[in-house]
Structure 1
Amino acid sequence: MSHGESPVPAVPAMSRRPLVAVVGAGAAGTLTALHLVRESGRRSTPVEIVLLDPADRWARGVAFGTPDEQHLLNVPAAGMSALPEDPSHFLHWLQGQQPDAHAFTFASRRTWGRYLDEQLTGALRDVLVETTVEHARTTVTAVRRDGARARLSLAGPPGGAQAGAAETLLADAVVVAAGLPATGDAWAPEALRDSPFFVADPWAPGALDPVRRDRTGPADVLLVGTGLTAVDVLLSLAGTRDGRHLQAISRSGALPACHADRLKPAVIPDISDWGATLTELRNRVRRHLDDARSASGDWRPGIDGLRFRVAELWQRLPEEDRHTFLTQDVAAWNRLRHRLPRGSHDRLDALVGSGEVTLIAATVQAVTPLPCGGLEVTTSDGTAREVGWVVNCTGPRSDVGELGNPLLDDLLRPRLDGALAVTSTAGMGLRTRDGRLVDGRGRSDAPLWALGALRRGELWESTAVPEIRQQALALAVSVLEDVAPLPRRLADGTWVPGHHPVARPRDPLGLPLSTTAEAAATFNAGLERLMRLQSGAEDLFAEAARLDPDFALAHAALALLGHEAGAATDVTAALAAARRAAKQNADDRERSLVSVVGLRVREPRRAGADALRRHVAAYPRDVLAVSAAVPTIAFSGVIDVQQDVWALVENLAPAYGDHWWFISLLAFVRQDQARYDEAALLAESALSCEPASGHAVHALTHVHYETGQHETGRAWLDHWIDASGRSASHRAHFAWHAALHDLALGDLAAVEARFARQLADVTGVRGLVDTASLLWRWRVATTEWEPERGAPPAAGSVLAAVDHDLLGSPSTPFIALHAAVAHAANQDPAALDALGARCRRSRDAATRSVVSPVCQGLADVLREEWDPAIEHLAAALPDLATVGGSAAQREIVEETLLLALHRSGRVPQARELLEDRVTRRHSPLDRRRLELLENEKAALPA
């Protein structure tokens, strides 16, 4: 069944399963096969997949085929999931092998290869269609088009049943996943290249074995290069012979930088105004790293944030600047970007300290064979060194046209109708259009794709697992859409085979829109702003409605935002226009949504909520409907019970997969479930795709607060607010979060400055939920404990900017709770009495049983009647989650109870509550209050 649409009628099935040939069975090829299997299952589309690689098994390749457990990943476990939609997947798998593993564990590369092997094997076992994967140990030497398919020439029989004993293989699609090319040795003098004591490629099977076993020639070994390859070789050769010294030489003589001791969130910059020349980008990168260092005390989060922007920055650069970067900047970038795990760094540091490893800043100038074996190497610093072996650790060759790879040579070979592929910048890879090869005539219609290292020239960052897994998933979708496209529905409702032209424009999630292309583009821009929590969505929806007055969804979106989010629009008129347009020009989904919006306006808590649930169940990829259904900063949602909200979001997973917007919503669910590591990984995964995702930022902000990372959280959030969050529609709420960090750190000067700069002038519901609640928390958490620290500003002006109905007749228990807090901040017990009486008469159970006692408790606090205040507030706490909102928002009731315990003299209970909080998370403010309680206890008469 299509996503929420009516059942797809039968269409003529293909007489055979499409065959996808993946050339290369290393990490890139295996990840591609994995996602092809998973996507074929999601689509109920069986395919044959054959991995063509002479290696003895898949999921190894050069990087992950190493048997040495000292060779560690240089990305922590948190970043090594094979599944973009589940960034903690590898971590959980690893914890099954190593119970003490955590997000910042650096596993061995061999372990990750085993993990990837298991994922492909498991996906094949679990897939519910007849999708198969076969590994043929053969080499592909040539490819040519054969109609709409591609015919591969093989160095030998592919084996198995795919093609019998034939020397060619006819495939519907070919994915070239060749991996990094072999190490280049053009730098080496001829005498060195011809020497038997030169290891040209340390990753060739058994290449280092003679070096390890050698006991006759000079003991020392010279490594040329000091990057990650050299690190692995140093660790492999250390201690293999008595008296052996390992000397590593490069122009800089510097090893890669080291990872920090703990995981810190990436600081992703807003690069919209960074320019497009190398000079401009150099300056902005330096400034960005300085800002990251100033904010967090470390440059690494700045580099990690740049990682998610590198492809866009690289594509801005003119070709000449790219070549300049490769000659002048690449070494410095690689040292900072591709860092060492702390364990590897410490081991090397010890080897350097003991003299077993020496780092040299020089280049090789000349080489002379020694009469008893080994080499005399003269370097640019004027030193002649006698060594038994020279190991080439300079990294892969750059130009794919000079590798001697028969398949790549054939792809680049001139033909009558043009080469099947052309190289990209500096020959570092092949040109593609979203992964599909571009031929010599600029076309991308051949059934040929590439990923990973072969896209370095156009993306620059394209060789690490986090980048390759995203490419593999996107490529799997693209390949299956080409070889076995799903049926499509035309504007008149009829279903046609997948290759039929699509009649209507579509929204960002692929749902058809009954409007013009121009209006659809404007509407989609508004929808994307809504998804990112950016301001201006209503203006774009209004413009879409102006461009096409018969566009029902544009009018419905305006009505929904006016009703739910207070957008400046005539809700009644917009709804009437939506209904009128839906009768003339809408499909089933669009008519359903218009009906739902009408019910939400008329009866939001009952019929409207039920209708919205049904619509989301039928059309789970309807972003506008899901946005209204899930309680977030922007919308009240249709569910107040936490577990039901969690289930609603989690059940959307099959419809969204790894889409950044869904991952953002799921991240917030995970933090609500106190699964903080998972929440952080999900949020950062979403932000890597969309740095402006307000939902992901919101989730990560809660993780920082609930885990006591106040310094990190404040610095990171301040940077986001000023960079990618500049257009966020709920900046006040993010400022409120930053103020919570200020409070937790006991930094009242920062709270005061932030209030004046970011919160004092906020109006409407944000003024109630954020500004007013901060004033009360400020008072009960600090001023009432230490009056000499100064009182917060008066709340009168804040409440004056809040709608009277929000304060006097709130429509939800969440708003009622914050209305009570606002009256407390305004020192108005009479208003609390009136609100409490209204809450006791409410038909809503949470308002009646939870918010009502909170009103009474807050009024008791204002009257300094501490015992009844404790009784009322304590009674509300067990069921407080039923009012909705986040734990950080509801915590204000506990803060008030803590004050009441303190002021009533119940020191043991207050201390117990604070000690529990300090155990759960670091907080200088809570520790300060514990000290005050201890001082009070000491001052009591014996």
Structure 2
Amino acid sequence: MSRPHVVVVGAGASGTLAAIHLARESGRRGVGLEITLVDPADRWGRGTAFGTVDDQHLLNVPAAGMSALPEDPSHFVQWRGGEAYEFAPRREYGRYLDELLTTTLATSLVNTTAHHLRARAVGVRRRPSGALVCLDGGEELSADAVVLGCGLPRAGSGWAPESVQDSAFFVPDPWAPGALDVVRRDRTGPADVLVVGTGLTMVDVVLSLVDGQSRRDRVVHAVSRSGRLPEVHAPELRPAVIPDISTWGHTLDELRCAVRAHLATVSLTTGDWRPGMDGIRFQVAALWDRLGEHDRLEFLRRDAGSWNVLRHRLPLSSGARIDELRTHGRLEIGAGEVVAAQPLPRGGLRVELSDGSSRDVGWVVNCTGPQTDVRLLGDPLIDDLLRPRAGSALATPATAGMGLRTENGRLVDTHGSSHAPIWALGALRRGELWESTAVPEIRAQALAVAGAVLEAVAPAPRRLADGRLVGGHHPVARPRDPLGLPLSTTAEAATLYNAGLERVMRLQDGGEDLLREAVQVDPDFAIAHAALALLGHEAGVNADVQAELDAARRAAGKRADDRERSFVDVVAERVKDVRRAGARALMAHIAEHPRDALAVSAAVPTIAFSGVTDVQQEAWDLVEGLAPAYGDHWWYISLLAFTRQDQSRFEEAGLLAESALSCEPSSGHAVHALTHVLYETGQHDVGRTWLDHWVASSGRSASHRAHFSWHAALHELALGDLEAVRARYYSQLAPPGVTGVRALVDSASLLWRWRMTMSAIQPGETPPVAPVLEQVDARLLTTPGTPFIALHAALGHAGNADRHALETLARHCRESAEPAMSATVATVCDALALVLDQEYAAAAALLEETMQRIDALGGSAAQREVLEETLIDCLVHDAQTEAARLLLDRRLARRPSPLDGRRRDVLATSLLAG
């Protein structure tokens, strides 16, 4: 059986990324492909951006943002063995793409191959079942699908008068092979060079023309209409502050005001506008989509220059080198336009500028960038796509001719149809996305295009409601959930269910309301009833668990597939026995149906669910084992990020979290992971500020907001800002605003930690715990079912100075068959009772006994740290000052904290005085 043939036009970054993801996705789907990359270049992976051989030409995105694989954002960092916030040479990235495609093909488990054809595509023709790609040599390639990853093939020099364009001393394209070599070697004409354009291309050209191999008497004069240089990246990597754009409006004036306000707020609170700009980048496509054509053109006229200066920034070292050259008079920057030029007797040009001045220069170099209007490129392939045939062209230009119109990457013809098997990515989509030329955007497009191409050329079979398998495009196939699993319901009910499930996946409020609407529309929607029962039982939402479970069973008997019936059975088992039979049933279900996101949500210990295990390694194995099923999906990456921080792989966790947030800014799991990273790496001021921004914007609909407030309060405690802690508690964590298990786990535990942390250095009254415990189900306080909840019940009783309740809880724990309950939590209860009796030496001894076993209590390191705080307080009160200081020293060695530093200094002073 022949393999589908995909022709990728262009073998630069866009085309190579497309080929990489086609090969990877074909392996995931078990479908062999034949891929042909058409490009006259000598190697794939290079292209204009990464074909340079000058190591002074650096990436303008940190290595952390340059992974080709969205699900593995540290891939490029690990490949080169460097740091996350380094700006690597651009040619190094070309080699990375080359090696990755080669390795992907070599390790593919299916028969997927790629061939580089050194030719130029000059046209595309439709066929009944595919397309023909016409080459400059007259050959034609038959293809099942075509991917256009060719970028913009020609620099734009329309600004140059004829006297410049016709001169031998004009370099129209500095990236043409050898274009700058003649300038660097020239020793006869004037030494100076005029560079037109003051953006990133200018910077690279200047660095090449004033290095040790060029004339020492050379001065580069760079001019542009604005005379503005790109801004420089921040001194250190900081998380992007992603805004909530739901209220930003739909006109250019409204968006201008909103962007300015966002940047001003971020600058005021963080001291830097850059995190705000980086956050807007994640929302650019949505903002651009809101604008009408008139506003888009107005933006291009008035705002695009300022946007590019802020958005496309210089690497730190390049910025420093440019400053040095300006200081020493080797580089001059000015505002102006070239209006005329005259040849000089000894070569070179006398160039007249719009301000009336002139420059005698040996060369004029065009650094204004590519011609952005595809209608003016003069490129045979683009012209052919735009040429009407029988009243219809295969492609239509997007805004201002900045690329081609697509529907999710698939070309739209003049009739508005996207049926032609032709996709585009990268610069050819600028008109519809605005930001579409940097690797972080292109890699996401490449992955989406790969999935769409495979769905078109080798669609997976789909199952009908009666169980029959049909072709992937069968018109009556069942609707699917967000992960592609079939749903036995109507399209209307499925839409409501999917919206509700996505809210649950994002950790947002209101998911259960949408699920209720779904079962109202279709009372026989089994899996929606079961989902309501599960959320009511394990996540505490308002649902009649038994009634929903009964309805799920009845519906499953009428209309459900194997996966849906299995899920209903799992929920029934969980309701009967969460910890044992329910856990086994859930894990068996996931093994059979790994893309059942709701089942996985219930299995993984997170904010929302207790999971199926309190053993860290088992939880890690569960998440990591799901990688083949989910690939780059933002929800899975979010869970993986939390796993990585749990493993103390903080840099990787942070990159994963940011990668997920770039796809879904409201992902509560990704925010939770990044929050832990910022805390465990001691970035307390950044963490507090960033969290407050997220909760106020993209996280406004987040469930479990109390937990994020708890995290912010931990940062404030670490900073020693007690007034901020007090204000946050009363505004965000105090009853009745927080109730149930969140009141116990977040509010009550914070009050105990606050008391333990500050008692030796700044004693004072903390808010009472009793009102918090009144908001908690009595069963959680007396007969908790998990070690994690039992631990927090003990902290609540201790904060309430209730020794009797601690003793009762200890007896309950000792009756448990779980060692984490019968040994560890029971011992903690005893220790806390001793603290209340001020028997600090005995309490410290018991706590030290338990410290090696606390991982089995579940939760995060930050949550379990409350026991270390209690131990330190006991040691200080028992005058075991050296032991307390050593504990603080170890913690400061792994995580900076101003408050811990103060506490350590107080203890050191006490030791000296003693």
TM-score by length of 1: 0.96
SS at match of 1:597: helix
* 1:368-767 alignment, distance < 5 Å: 368-761=342-735, 762-767=738-743
1:313 aligns with 2:313: no
**Any runs of at least 4 consecutive aligned residues in structure 1 with deviations exceeding 2 A, and if so which?**
496-502, 783-786
Deviations for 1:218-259, whole angstroms, at most 9, x for unmatched residues? 110000000000000000001410211111111222211000
TM-fit CA distance, 1:623: 1.1
Specify the code of the residue in structure 1 equivalent to 2:45: A
Deviations for 1:29-61, whole angstroms, at most 9, x for unmatched residues? 011111111111111111111011111110000
Query: Does the 8 Å CA contact 2:210/2:216 hold for their aligned counterparts?
Result: no
Query: Does the 8 Å CA contact 1:663/1:686 hold for their aligned counterparts?
Result: yes
Corresponding residue for 2:803?
829
Deviates more, 1:547-556 or 1:667-676: 547-556
TM-fit CA distance, 1:500: 2.7
TM-fit CA distance, 1:929: 0.5
1:903 aligns with 2:884: no
Deviations for 1:735-767, whole angstroms, at most 9, x for unmatched residues? 000000000000000000000100002110000
In the aligned structure 2, how far is the partner of 1:758 from the partner of 1:752? 10
Corresponding residue for 1:187?
159
In the aligned structure 2, how far is the partner of 1:139 from the partner of 1:930? 68
Corresponding residue for 1:820?
794
In the aligned structure 2, how far is the partner of 1:117 from the partner of 1:282? 40
Query: Does the 8 Å CA contact 2:661/2:667 hold for their aligned counterparts?
Result: yes
Specify the code of the residue in structure 2 equivalent to 1:143: V
Query: Does the 8 Å CA contact 2:574/2:582 hold for their aligned counterparts?
Result: yes
1:781 aligns with 2:762: no
Q: 1:50 aligned to 24, 31, 36, which one?
A: 36
Query: Does the 8 Å CA contact 1:670/1:678 hold for their aligned counterparts?
Result: yes
1:89 aligns with 2:75: yes
SS at match of 1:358: strand
1:198 aligns with 2:170: yes
Query: Does the 8 Å CA contact 1:785/1:899 hold for their aligned counterparts?
Result: no
In the aligned structure 2, how far is the partner of 1:696 from the partner of 1:783? 34
* 1:292-311 alignment, distance < 5 Å: 292-311=266-285
Query: Does the 8 Å CA contact 2:397/2:403 hold for their aligned counterparts?
Result: yes
In the aligned structure 2, how far is the partner of 1:36 from the partner of 1:417? 33
1:353 aligns with 2:327: yes
Specify the code of the residue in structure 1 equivalent to 2:184: R
Query: Does the 8 Å CA contact 1:180/1:463 hold for their aligned counterparts?
Result: no
Query: Does the 8 Å CA contact 2:760/2:876 hold for their aligned counterparts?
Result: no
Query: Does the 8 Å CA contact 1:667/1:682 hold for their aligned counterparts?
Result: yes
Specify the code of the residue in structure 2 equivalent to 1:115: Y
SS at match of 2:365: strand
SS at match of 1:398: coil
Query: Does the 8 Å CA contact 2:463/2:478 hold for their aligned counterparts?
Result: no
In the aligned structure 1, how far is the partner of 2:291 from the partner of 2:473? 36
SS at match of 2:904: helix
1:144 aligns with 2:122: no
Deviations for 1:458-517, whole angstroms, at most 9, x for unmatched residues? 000000001111111110111111111122222221222333335211111111111111
Corresponding residue for 2:259?
285
In the aligned structure 1, how far is the partner of 2:234 from the partner of 2:431? 29
TM-fit CA distance, 1:784: 4.2
Query: Does the 8 Å CA contact 2:60/2:312 hold for their aligned counterparts?
Result: yes
SS at match of 1:187: coil
1:924 aligns with 2:904: no
In the aligned structure 1, how far is the partner of 2:363 from the partner of 2:909? 70
TM-fit CA distance, 1:197: 0.6
Query: Does the 8 Å CA contact 1:148/1:446 hold for their aligned counterparts?
Result: no
Q: 1:33 aligned to 19, 23, 45, which one?
A: 19
Specify the code of the residue in structure 1 equivalent to 2:12: G
In the aligned structure 2, how far is the partner of 1:461 from the partner of 1:535? 31
SS at match of 1:458: helix
Q: 1:770 aligned to 746, 750, 772, which one?
A: 746
Q: 1:909 to 1:502 in 2, by over 3 A?
A: farther
Specify the code of the residue in structure 2 equivalent to 1:234: V
1:24 aligns with 2:5: no
In the aligned structure 2, how far is the partner of 1:44 from the partner of 1:837? 55
Root-mean-square deviation (CA, aligned residues, Å) is: 0.9
Deviations for 1:255-307, whole angstroms, at most 9, x for unmatched residues? 11000111000000000010111111110000000111112110000010011
Specify the code of the residue in structure 2 equivalent to 1:121: T
In the aligned structure 1, how far is the partner of 2:877 from the partner of 2:339? 79
Corresponding residue for 2:56?
70
Query: Does the 8 Å CA contact 2:20/2:100 hold for their aligned counterparts?
Result: yes
1:936 aligns with 2:891: no
TM-fit CA distance, 1:844: 1.4
SS at match of 2:49: helix
Corresponding residue for 1:127?
108
In the aligned structure 2, how far is the partner of 1:277 from the partner of 1:528? 29
TM-fit CA distance, 1:689: 0.6
Gaps of 5+ in 2: none
TM-fit CA distance, 1:27: 0.5
Corresponding residue for 1:216?
188
Query: Does the 8 Å CA contact 1:181/1:400 hold for their aligned counterparts?
Result: no
Specify the code of the residue in structure 1 equivalent to 2:39: D
TM-fit CA distance, 1:546: 1.1
Corresponding residue for 1:113?
94
TM-fit CA distance, 1:209: 1.2
TM-fit CA distance, 1:538: 1.2
Gaps of 5+ in 1: 1-14, 96-100, 158-166
1:859 aligns with 2:833: yes
TM-fit CA distance, 1:935: 2.4
SS at match of 1:223: strand
TM-fit CA distance, 1:417: 4.1
SS at match of 1:169: strand
Query: Does the 8 Å CA contact 1:76/1:105 hold for their aligned counterparts?
Result: yes
Give me the identity figure in percent.
65
In the aligned structure 1, how far is the partner of 2:459 from the partner of 2:551? 36
Query: Does the 8 Å CA contact 1:488/1:502 hold for their aligned counterparts?
Result: no
SS at match of 2:628: helix
TM-fit CA distance, 1:186: 1.0
In the aligned structure 2, how far is the partner of 1:553 from the partner of 1:242? 75
Query: Does the 8 Å CA contact 1:77/1:102 hold for their aligned counterparts?
Result: yes
SS at match of 2:418: coil
TM-fit CA distance, 1:410: 0.4
In the aligned structure 2, how far is the partner of 1:209 from the partner of 1:934? 64
Q: 1:236 aligned to 208, 215, 240, which one?
A: 208
Corresponding residue for 1:7?
none
In the aligned structure 2, how far is the partner of 1:208 from the partner of 1:784? 68
